[in-house]
Amino acid sequence: MRGVGELISLVNEELGMALRPADADSPLGALPGWDSLLLLRLIAVLEAATGRPLPVADVISASSLAEIHALVAAE
């Protein structure tokens, strides 16, 4: 996954959201249509896409999509 933009496209497609690149740093709770269960689905989607397990505790406590992207990229 190259940039946070790619993560946002994935979120839009997989979770049926309509986010813009500018939403990368917004708190997750402030994203229109977001709920915490979507994060669980996102973890499954990201693990399938990257073929690697993610550090679930860190992803759960991440505050924005940019932070999640950093965790995915760091693995």
Partner 1 sequence: MSGLREVRELHAAGQLAAAYPRVRTLLDRLDADRLAGAGVILSRLAPGEVLRHHPGTQVVRVTVSAGRAVPGAVVAPLAAEFARHGMLPDVRAGEFNGWVGELTDPSSPLAAHRPDLALCVLDPFTVFEGLPQTWSAADAERVLGERLDLIARLAASHRQQRPGSTLVLNTVPLLRHHAQQLLDLASRAELGIAWREFTSGLLRLSRPGEGVVVLDLDPVTAAGARADDPRMGVHAGSPLATSLLAGYAREVAHLARALRGDTKKCLVLDLDGTLWDGTLDADGPDGVQVGAAHRQLQAAVRQLGSQGVLVALCTKNDEERVRRALRAHPGMLLREGDFTTIAAGWGPKHEALVRIAEELGLSTGSLVFVDDTAAERDLVRSALPGTAVPALDAEPALHTDRLLADGWFDTLKLTDDDRARPERYRRRARRARLREELLDHRAFLRSLDVVVRIAPATAPDLPRIAQLTARTNRLNATGARWTTAEVTDRARTGAVLGIRAADRFGDEGLAGALFIRPEPVRWTLENLALSCRVLGREIEDACLAALVAAARDAGARQLRAHWRDTGANAAVRELYLRHGFAPERPDGRNGRNGPDGLWVFARPTAAPQQPPEHVEIDITMQATMQATVEEGSCAASGN
Of 6 and 35, nearer to partner 1 (C-beta) is 35
> What would you report as the CA-atom Rg of the chain, rounded to the nearest whole angstrom?
11
Phi-psi region of 52 (alpha: psi -120 to 50; beta: other; left: phi over 0): beta
Rounded to whole angstroms, the maximal C-alpha distance in the chain is 29
Positions that interact with partner 1 (CB under 8 A): 12-16, 18, 33, 35-41, 43-45, 48, 56-57, 60
Are residues 9 and 51 in contact, defined by beta-carbon separation less than 8 angstroms?
Answer: no
Least distance from partner 1 to the Cβ atom of residue 41, Å: 6
Least distance from partner 1 to the Cβ atom of residue 58, Å: 9
Of 2 and 16, nearer to partner 1 (C-beta) is 16
Least distance from partner 1 to the Cβ atom of residue 6, Å: 17
